[in-house]
Structure 1
Amino acid sequence: MPRSQRNDNFIDKSFTVMADLILKVLPTNRRAKEAFAYYRDGMSAQGDGEYAEALENYDEALKLEDDPLDRAFILYNMALVYTSNGDHQRAIETYEQVLELNSKMPQALNNMAVIHHHLGSLAEERGDTDESDRRFAQAAEYWTKAIRMAPNNYIEAQNWLKTSGRGSVDVYF
């Protein structure tokens, strides 16, 4: 049974009803509607912490979805799952695919920076200075790009760039 038919809380039921109504009235083909249904079920599973099920639904949505921007959002959610599962390398690779499809997603750049910063902190704790410096430099690069796209966001990242000396003055304006 599709997840959309077994949602048991009010918010999920309301979202499902609204999504189904939108799907019925949208002037789009059957394949795109089916892709959206899988995407919706993937988001629902992801929200419930059912990551394997979410990835299965996202995989199905990717098989059906042709629109590059929609594919980017599917891949973005997959990268979030990979990150939650601790598969940082796969998450980074998936975020790179997201940016190939939609270069205007500062949230993907931010998430890549967060992963690199996390891995840099772990390397620092291990005493691996070269690895931590490399990861922190990558974090700074991705945060700089994200901040340039969305200057009013990522305040903590802006503060880290300033205090760590890894940012340039032109990032903040």
Structure 2
Amino acid sequence: MPRSQRNDNFIDKSFTVMADIILKMLPATKKEKEAFAYYRDGMSAQGDGEYAEALDNYYEALKLEDDDYDRSYILYNIGLIHASNGEHDRALGYYHQALELNPRLPQALNNVAVIFHYQGEMAKEAGNDDQAEKLYQQAAEYWKRAIRVAPNNYIEAQNWLKTTGRSQIDVYF
């Protein structure tokens, strides 16, 4: 049974009903509507922690979706799943694909920075200070890009940039 036909709780029921109404009213082709349905089911499964099911739905959505902007969000969500599973290199690959299609996707920029920062921390713990510094610098560049797109977000990143001297801008927002 498709996830969209399951009604586990009031919020899920409401979301499903609204999404179905919007889907029916959208002036879109059958293929576009089918892609959206897979994407919606992927988001629902991801929200429930059913990552394998979410990935299956996202991959189906990718097969059908032609719009680069919409594809960027599908790729971003696939990256989220891989990151949450600790597969940072795979996640980076999907985030970069999403950014190729939508360079102003701040959440993907932020997540790339978070992974680089984490890898920098791991390199530092391993005693590889030069590698750590390179990774921190990469994190800083991605955070600066994310903050330029969404200046009121990523306050902790803004503080880190300022306190580490990686940004000369005093206030982004």
The answer, yes or no, to whether TM exceeds 0.5 is yes
Return the alpha-carbon distance in structure 2 between the equivalents of residues 148 and 86 of structure 1: 28
* TM-score, normalised with respect to structure 1: 0.95
The ranges of structure 1 where at least 4 consecutive aligned residues each deviate by more than 4 angstroms after the TM superposition are none
Residue in 1 that maps onto 2:3: 3
Q: Which runs of 5+ in 1 are unaligned?
A: none
Residue 160 in structure 1 maps to residue 160 in structure 2: yes
Residue 86 in structure 1 maps to residue 86 in structure 2: yes
Residue in 2 that maps onto 1:46: 46
Write the deviation string for residues 87-127 of structure 1: whole angstroms up to 9, x where unpaired: 11111111111111111111111111011111111221121
Return the alpha-carbon distance in structure 2 between the equivalents of residues 170 and 99 of structure 1: 27
Residue in 2 that maps onto 1:34: 34
Residue 60 of structure 1, CA deviation: 0.1
Specify the code of the residue in structure 2 equivalent to 1:107: Q
Specify the code of the residue in structure 2 equivalent to 1:72: S
Return the alpha-carbon distance in structure 2 between the equivalents of residues 131 and 4 of structure 1: 46
Write the deviation string for residues 51-91 of structure 1: whole angstroms up to 9, x where unpaired: 11101100000000011111011111111111101111111
Aligned CA RMSD, in angstroms, stands at 1.4
Q: Which runs of 5+ in 2 are unaligned?
A: none
Residue in 2 that maps onto 1:99: 99
Identity of aligned residues (%): 70
Return the alpha-carbon distance in structure 1 between the equivalents of residues 147 and 168 of structure 2: 11
* TM-score, normalised with respect to structure 2: 0.95
Return the alpha-carbon distance in structure 1 between the equivalents of residues 31 and 81 of structure 2: 24
Contact 1:79/1:91 (8 A) holds in 2: yes
Specify the code of the residue in structure 2 equivalent to 1:4: S
- For these two proteins, the number of residue pairs brought into alignment is 173
